[in-house]
Amino acid sequence: MKHLLFSGKQKLSDLIHANYKLLLVLPRFNIKLGFEDRKVNEVCERYGISPHLFLMVCNVCTFDAYTPGRKEAEQLDIDGLILYLTRSHQDYREHRVPVIKGQLDRLLDYHDKKEEKSVRQFFDGYSTEVINHLHYEENTVFPYIYGLKRGIKSGQYHIKQFEKNHGNIEEKLHDLKNIIIKYLPDQGDAELRNQVLFNLFWLEEDLNRHTLLEERILIPFVQQLEERLNNTGEHE
Amino acid sequence: MNSLTRTMKAKKYRIALIEPSILLSEGLKAIFHAHPEFEIVSYSTNIPHFLERPTAVPPDIILINPMVIDFQRQNHVRSVFSAYPGALLVAIVYQFIDQDVLKQYHGSITVFDDPRKIQKKLNHAINTTHGAPEAIDNFDLSDREKEILMSVVRGLQNKEIADMHNISIHTVISHRKNISRKTGIKSVAGLTVYALLHHLLDQDEIE
């Protein structure tokens, strides 16, 4: 099965043609467009990125059935992955969510006060929840992992607790799509309304891929770290 | 005698196999040979070949490699086999296939499955499909559901709603499930927006 995944010897441009959504992945690795016909390995070397990590991320973002094997997971550049995740968070906070908010605000200008207020409140509630979750990962989960790496198991926290947190956020995004598709009265700028929806669908897919990266790469790796620490019995 | 009547009564599933690889199809034929409840009644390497040679009795199961379906029609697999509405579609998987494509099939087997697992997966596809609920096409909320919706939106807990309407918590939960299924909205905050947009509620009521 392995030869059906992306490899370092392919041209980076071919990866993008195979899955254009990888365009969102590149800036989070700091890779700029205009890489001519360079192969994945060459581009990664140029930017000082682990090609192993880059390919893992691209594969998870493209092939639904792909989960890295145990051996692959062991070689993971965990600092690189956390950097990637942190940059993705930044992207959600500074670009994806504010862009949707701006469009939604303009769209709602056409609606009466009651409609405008209720949808706006709903979106604000949603985005606060997203941002809180990102904060939680950055301030609790990532420091915990850095600690584990240095051999410190801090407090009662366990990576298993982490997995529960995504459900609500996904539910609300799904609701928001339905509200805009089905229930918001037909007024105002239809083109703008479509743009909002496209952005919501993209955001949803992107967040799902983000969750997959955490579930298929980050969490199994951290569980291995935890096991190793428990076995050697090093506690602080 | 007894065992004979049993085999005669047992349903035999007729399989149409569509798979370009000779190696794979010969292997599958050998496997099904050992399982008398399945019989391969037609074998093709591609779709046109299959569609041009209808069998006397339509197959119960179409066992097919999704890659033989051309790209434009991969998301409309059912339409390819519209002549066989009663047949189960089961995919033969040996490479990465998009989940959305695979969702259209009633089941799938992979090249890594052993004969027992293949048999189990086919039986699972048969059983789950026959037991599937009929499509529900009424999406309007009933008056009762609207009442429950209003209570949910006003922030009442299931227990309180049950007491207020003199129904069991179980009934409240089942109403709430139906409301979410019909409206496509699950969160309380989302239902609040729904109620406002449908003039079931005034803004000041929730503040």
Give the pLDDT confidence of A146-202 residue by residue, as tens digits: 999 888 877 777 787 776 667 678 899 999 999 999 999 988 899 999 999 999 999
Integer-rounded Cα Rg, in Å, for chain A is 20
Q: How far apart are CA A190 and CA A187, in angstroms?
A: 8
Which of the listed residues B73, B102, B130 is the one where a domain comes to its end? B130
pLDDT surpasses 60 at B131: no
Q: What is the CATH number of the domain that holds B164?
A: 1.10.10.10
Which of the listed residues B130, B162, B188 is the one where a domain comes to its end? B130
pLDDT at B1: 41
ipTM tops 0.90: no
Clarify whether residues B15 and B117 are in a common domain: yes
In a domain, B137, yes or no: no
Residues 6+ apart with CB under 8 A from B78: B89, B104
B152 near A CB under 8 A: no
CB B184 within 8 A of CB A116: no
CB contact under 8 A, A183 and B194: yes
Write out chain B residues lying below 8 Å of A125, CB-based: 189
Which of the listed residues B98, B130, B162 is the one where a domain comes to its end? B130
Higher model confidence: residue A73 or residue B63?
Answer: B63
**Domain carrying residue B187:** 143-206
B73 near A CB under 8 A: no
Q: How far apart are CA A135 and CA A143, in angstroms?
A: 12
Token couple for A17:
């043609």
Write out chain B residues lying below 8 Å of A172, CB-based: 187, 189-190
pLDDT at B172: 94
Chain B interface, mutation test: which of A118, A128, A208, most B Cβ atoms within 10 Å? Answer: A118
Q: How far apart are CA A79 and CA A62, in angstroms?
A: 22
Q: Chain A residue closest to B191 (CA)?
A: A175
Mean residue pLDDT across chain A: 90
In a domain, B93, yes or no: yes
pLDDT surpasses 60 at A49: yes
